[in-house]
Amino acid sequence: MKKEIENELHRIVHKAVNSPLTSEDFELLCREMNVVKMYYDLEFDSEGYRGLGEGEEDTSKYRIFELYSEDTESDIKKKYTFYFDANEYVHAWIEFKKGITEEDIDEDICGFLADVVYLLVSRQNMRAMLDFSETHDSQTGIMNLKSLGAKYMQSIARYPEVEYVVLYANVKNFKFINDRGGVHLGDLAIAKIAQKLQEYMREDEGVCRVGGDNFAMFVRRDNLDVMLNRLKIVQVDGLMGLRNNSHRFSFRVGVSDTDIREFGTKLEEASTACVVAKTILKKDLVVFNMELSEIISHNNQIVAAFPDALAAGEFVPYFQPKVNMRTGVLLGLEALCRWQHNDSIIAPAEFIPLLDRKGMIHDLDMTILIETCRCIHEWQEMGLKVPVVSVNFSKKNIFIPDIEKKIITAIRDNDISTSMLEIEITETAKESEIGRLIDFVRILKENGFKISIDDFGTGYSSLSLIHNINADEVKIDQSFVRKLGRDDKSLILIESIVSIANRLNMRIIAEGVENTEEGRMLMELGCGNAQGYYYGKPVDFEDMTKILMNPEFEALE
């Protein structure tokens, strides 16, 4: 690519990370490329592919984003198509100076430019969504949690004599709607449920969507029974594709009716009650009480037992292969923590989120790192060919003083090369974390480590993070793989992630591949690497040793 063009692209990408782009930003770039006009059209609510022909621009149906325009006539117009969302289509249009011929145009550069600009535009759309979501849930239009907390404070200040209870409600069997009518119907149903709940509220009460199919609300104590009755059946109409185009939803509800006035505590009690209702008691209604505190006390026991268990070597890495599906070649391993406690193996879901919340995850992550280094060393001593091994690092670690030094020392002590290790980190949307994360990654990379972005696609910051962080690998979260074949959005998202990763020279790998069907679909979408039960569940050191002695996997056609 021409140096000038490359420089300009860099500048624009850099700027776009922090602020919206204007047409002036594109001016120099367009000049270099003999472009006189560059714009995007975005079509809403279309059924399938629109196939816009030349000269057929009915702007009433689309929204045009003009990125650059020099009021000059042009001869050649090029179109690049992107799938922006399940049924919104984006076309990038690039028009060239009069007199420019097809031979003068470098298709690759134009395609690349269209790609990059598409990413920037979708990122700015995302930012607009985030602004709205400061106070509202963008999908349903009702309040978000922050606003609900603020309204609660207003209400107790205005009506000090009134007692309020907090409810945490989860829609029962919501999966049915997604399975029956796709994510689209699910989105519509959630929005309609939210509106219904909103209608039930009195003027000093409030409801918000917490995320997914979860809602939080506060109501007057003397209104609680009425509300609980209503939540037994919420009828929603206008859901095409279901019997009678309607569905009766019901909720699983956790209630906090304690005398505490503080909203955060009440909400936590209500949500604990709801989780217990769903996972342990299998009941529709659970009011928070001291028994539930037992669950919390179980958590406390884990926290208390942790230091001794750690010292006793009860936390060990298991290993799961990462495989190139086309060739069957073993690309790497991921170390996943297991707690070997009293003859049973405890999975990370039971303790990692808890230890992370309690600020204790650093010691665990360092232990798994060190144990992993020992395993690598041992395998190498046995003369085995060991691929790069990744370890998971909680973001809390990046704020530990001298964390990079600690990691490097751990590797040196075990006499292995830093290039054997890959650190898996998850995305972040928090401004306060991004700067530190970038430094952390830079220092580790300078020291020869590889970096992988885990669970990609589940956070909001994806695009800015990927531009700022020079990662080696992007892991598509397994939730997308689970929805393959059932949900167009997942296909589109995977395609976009693949295209970004390819452009930025990052390896792309899908998590949670369980069968050949998923593997083949991923390969069709351009993702040729996988980690998942199909290739092997996480196994301990001994079992992985056997695999490394003969690391052959079947190539998928």
Which residues sit at the interface with Mg ion, rule CB under 5 A?
Answer: 392, 424, 454-455, 511
Minimum CB–partner distance for residue 459 and ligand C2E (Å): 13
Q: CA-to-CA distance for 474 and 456, rounded, in angstroms?
A: 7
Considering the complex, state which of residue 128 and residue 312 has its C-beta at the smaller distance from ligand C2E.
312
Among Mg ion, ligand C2E, none, residue 514 binds (CB under 5-8 Å by kind):
ligand C2E
| Tokens 């039960």, residue located | 533
Q: CA-to-CA distance for 555 and 325, rounded, in angstroms?
A: 6
- For 227, residues 6+ apart whose C-beta sits below 8 A from its C-beta are 167, 200, 217, 219
Considering the complex, state which of residue 245 and residue 479 has its C-beta at the smaller distance from ligand C2E.
479
Instruction: Record the tokens describing residue 343, joined without a space.
Output: 């003859």
Instruction: Record the tokens describing residue 182, joined without a space.
Output: 């796709």
Total binding residues toward ligand C2E, as defined by CB under 6 A: 25
Considering the complex, state which of residue 254 and residue 321 has its C-beta at the smaller distance from Mg ion.
321
Minimum CB–partner distance for residue 533 and ligand C2E (Å): 3
Residues 505-544 that bind ligand C2E (CB under 6 A): 511-514, 531-533, 538
Minimum CB–partner distance for residue 537 and ligand C2E (Å): 7
Per the CB < 8 A criterion, the answer to whether 457 and 480 are in contact is yes
Backbone CA torsion sign across 29, 31, 34, 40? positive
Helices (H), 133-235: 145-158, 175-200, 224-230
Minimum CB–partner distance for residue 361 and ligand C2E (Å): 5
Q: Mask: binding to ligand C2E, 365-404, rule CB under 6 A, as x and -? A: x--x-----------------------xxx----------
Considering the complex, state which of residue 189 and residue 370 has its C-beta at the smaller distance from ligand C2E.
370
Helices (H), 258-400: 263-276, 290-311, 352-357, 361-381
Tally of residues, the chain = 557
Q: Mask: binding to ligand C2E, 287-326, rule CB under 6 A, as x and -? A: ---------------------------------x------
Minimum CB–partner distance for residue 315 and Mg ion (Å): 16
Query: Which among 161-169, 345-353, 458-466, 487-495 is the span making contact with ligand C2E, rule CB under 6 A?
Result: 345-353
* Nearest Cα to Cα of residue 16 among 29, 33, 4: 29
Per the CB < 8 A criterion, the answer to whether 33 and 110 are in contact is yes
Considering the complex, state which of residue 336 and residue 497 has its C-beta at the smaller distance from ligand C2E.
336
Alpha-carbon distance values, 450 to 374, 436, 468 (Å): 18, 17, 15
Considering the complex, state which of residue 427 and residue 511 has its C-beta at the smaller distance from Mg ion.
511
Residues 459-498 that bind ligand C2E (CB under 6 A): 478
Considering the complex, state which of residue 265 and residue 516 has its C-beta at the smaller distance from ligand C2E.
516
Task: Assess 361 for contact with ligand C2E (CB under 6 A).
Answer: yes
Residues 270-289 that bind ligand C2E (CB under 6 A): none
Task: Assess 454 for contact with ligand C2E (CB under 6 A).
Answer: yes
Ramachandran sector of residue 448 (left: φ over 0; alpha: ψ -120 to 50; beta: rest) = left
Q: Listing from the earlier edge strand, what are the strands of the sheet with 35-43?
A: 62-69, 35-43, 88-97, 74-85
Q: What are phi and psi of 183, to 5 degrees?
A: -60, -30
> Parallel, antiparallel, or unpaired for β 473-476 and 507-511?
parallel
Q: CA-to-CA distance for 33 and 264, rounded, in angstroms?
A: 55
Among Mg ion, ligand C2E, none, residue 157 binds (CB under 5-8 Å by kind):
none
Q: Mask: binding to ligand C2E, 53-72, rule CB under 6 A, as x and -? A: --------------------
Task: Assess 333 for contact with ligand C2E (CB under 6 A).
Answer: no
Among 352, 360, 403, 498, binds ligand C2E (CB under 6 A): 352
User: Binding residues for ligand C2E, per CB under 6 A?
Assistant: 320, 336-337, 347-349, 352, 361, 365, 368, 392-394, 424, 454-455, 478, 511-514, 531-533, 538
